[in-house]
Amino acid sequence: MDDSPPYHLDINGLSDEAAVPGSRGSHDGRPWVGIRFECCGIYTRVYRNRAGTAYEGLCPRCTRRVRLKVGPDGTSSRFFVAE
């Protein structure tokens, strides 16, 4: 069974210098984006992986996975909804 989410979001241009203000200090200073998990009505931060290729996280209540890929045709948005 494939555990990957049924959606794909391509994010570009999110460097360490462009990190959300206040994002340093937790998770080794990695940048983050805000995600609202509609499955449980929970908002949380999702941090960039160590390789810098994606933002990866889990719903804190039901552990549904989300992965936002960093890519060349991305967005500068900082907050997203996982439906």
For 13-66, how does the pLDDT look when each residue is reduced to its tens digit (9 = 90+)? 444 444 444 444 456 688 999 999 999 999 999 999 989 999 999 999 999 999
Helix-then-strand count for the chain, H and E = 0, 6
61 and 69 in contact (C-beta within 8 Å)? no
Structural domain spans, the chain: 9-82
End-to-end CA distance of the chain: 20
- Residue whose structure tokens are 């160590």: 50
pTM: 0.64
